[in-house]
Amino acid sequence: MERILFGDNQFFAVNHLSDEKSRAQAVRFKDDSAIIKVLDTVIDCDINTFMCTTHDRIANICDHIRRNPDQYANFQIYPCMPYAHKYANAVTELGIMGTLKEYMPSSNLLGTLAKGGLAVFKKDFISIMEILVDTEMKMFKGVRTDVIFIQNVITDLILGLGMYDFFRAFSDYVKKKYKAEAGFITMNLPMLYQALEKVGVENPIICASINKVGFRMTGGVELYERTLREKQMRVIAMQVFAAGAIPPKEALEYVCNLPRISSILFGASSRSHIEQNRDLINQYWKNDEAVLV
């Protein structure tokens, strides 16, 4: 994994501090070309991994990447699935069974349809999970995706329900089908690590909020620091600025000095912000052992 991963919240009007800022972002990134322009700036800043949710609009970005292979030769996407609001709104409207029917593939290959229908009929949940992964992955065909993530709302739901075998099944499936590693986004890193250890997902890739003030770090800063020191895992730190509560220098100095941090994920809209964060990370991350997947 690269040291810096570029995130997508700013493109999809997700702002953890302010609904007003969200709206401003929605206006700015109304057109896909505005997103592509920022991604090109990112590449120009030597950042080559875009970590993003499987939002419908990402399909257009993938089209653009496929149309311009030379320009994006070193570029890759880490998909994070699912785009939860899509399913949450569908469940409100159609119920759980109705949502499954709606999103199990039906329009393409007859084979997939049969497999999907059969899986729901037989209540084979591992197969249902695999088909939903395939559905979400369809838009990335031909785009490099070395790590595939489960979004925190699903990771943490499975974690809370204690259905850990899904973590293992997901990990096995993306390895087999997509030659990719599984990643897990969570707001409960210490608890998730224990669960993954139980089902034999070794040296896992975990993406979690990690910041000096303990924002969205369930169990507290001390428990996180101890877990990072004592356990073997590859961690992607997100929300390092605690949604803007910590000044960039202070925020990045803290995270860069923690053990087990493979990458830092951040999103930004302007070249100056991207460059500033990149330079600070390179400055504080002196021990530059490349961490490879």
Interface contacts to other proteins, rule CB under 8 A: 12-19, 22-23, 26, 85, 88-89, 91-97, 100, 120, 123, 125, 153, 156-157, 159-163, 165-166, 187-188, 191, 213-220, 242-245
CA 171 to chain centre: 14
In whole angstroms, how close is the CB of 205 to other proteins at the nearest point? 19
Task: Name which of 68 and 89 has its Cβ closer to other proteins.
Answer: 89
Q: Which is nearer to other proteins, 42 or 150 (CB)?
A: 150
Q: How far is the CB of 276 from other proteins (least distance, A)?
A: 21
How many residues would you count in the chain?
293
By beta-carbon proximity to other proteins, the closer residue of 18 and 232 is 18
Which one, 102 or 230, has the nearer CB to other proteins?
102
| Smallest distance, other proteins to C-beta of residue 292, A | 30
Distance CA 53, CA 50 (A): 10
Task: Give the shortest CB-274-to-other proteins separation in angstroms.
Answer: 22
Residue 224 has a CB neighbour count (10 Å cut-off) of 21
Identity of the residue, 18 or 68, whose beta carbon is nearer to other proteins in the bound complex = 18
Compare residues 143 and 242 and give the one whose CB is closer to other proteins: 242
Contact call for residues 155 and 80 (beta carbons, < 8 A)? no
Exposed (0-12), middle (13-18) or buried (19+): which is 79, by Cβ within 10 Å?
buried
Query: CB of residue 44 vs other proteins: minimum separation in angstroms?
Result: 30
Task: Kindly report whether the peptide bond that precedes residue 82 is cis, defined as omega within 30 degrees of 0.
Answer: yes
Identify the burial level of 126 via C-beta atoms within 10 angstroms of its C-beta, where 0-12 means exposed, 13-18 middle and 19 or more buried: middle
Shortest Cβ distance from residue 66 to other proteins (Å)?
Answer: 28
Element (DSSP H or E) covering residue 238: strand 234-238
Q: How far is the CB of 188 from other proteins (least distance, A)?
A: 6
Instruction: Pick the closer one to other proteins by CB: 23 or 138.
Output: 23
Q: How far is the CB of 208 from other proteins (least distance, A)?
A: 10
Per DSSP, the three-state class of 241 is coil
Tokens 């039906």, residue?
Answer: 106
- Provide the CA 268 distance to its chain's centre, in angstroms: 16
Considering the complex, state which of residue 251 and residue 264 has its C-beta at the smaller distance from other proteins: 251
Nearest to 76 by CA among 144, 161, 5: 144
Distance (Å, whole) CA 291 – CA 293: 7
Phi-psi region of 263 (alpha: psi -120 to 50; beta: other; left: phi over 0): beta
